Structure 1
Amino acid sequence: MREYRFKRGYKPIEDRLEELIKKHFGEFEKDGNVYVVRYGAMEELRLWIENKKLYVETKTNPNVSDDVAIRTIKVYNKFLEELTGYTAKERAKMMKKEVESE
């Protein structure tokens, strides 16, 4: 499970989450407060907002082509950047800091 913070000015609300899921991935299912997406190389992407943070669980399909995997990563990164305000590079840097501080 991954945990993402929101940059100042980016609201951690379900309406935005739902809107951006539709924009980037198309369809989704809702299981309580958890949004479930199936897209490209992701068999299942589970997203929810709790305590002003985004939580994500992913289950990937290892049997997809490289093209599908690359396209899936690009769409996922664009989605996260638009939702949280942090680029992939900034998110990686924050995760690295968290790991080092443990």
Structure 2
Amino acid sequence: MAAEPNQKKVVVNFQSVANAPKLRQSKFKIGGNEKFAKVIEFLRCQIHQDTVFLYVNSVFSPNPDELINDFLEEKYRNSVLAKFAIRSSPSDPETTTRI
């Protein structure tokens, strides 16, 4: 997730929730002019999952075509907390609810 030299970099801090696997390294830098889709694809590769649900600052999930700088506010500075979860299979006994 390297950025161009003159680009403003943003630190993305990934935090797993629910049954999502934890990352060995949770903080990564990416250029602010990159699309959010690049963050999603990077995370999918890191945890080896096809489907990832990713929320920024526990509030919203940006459009994959949106630039990272576009949804950063001054209060977040140059850092984003990205919580993620995965969808478990319906046959998984730990997550299946009986009705």
The TM-score with structure 1 as length reference comes to 0.26
More strand by share: 1
More helix by share: 1
The TM-score with structure 2 as length reference comes to 0.26
Structure of higher CA gyration radius: 2
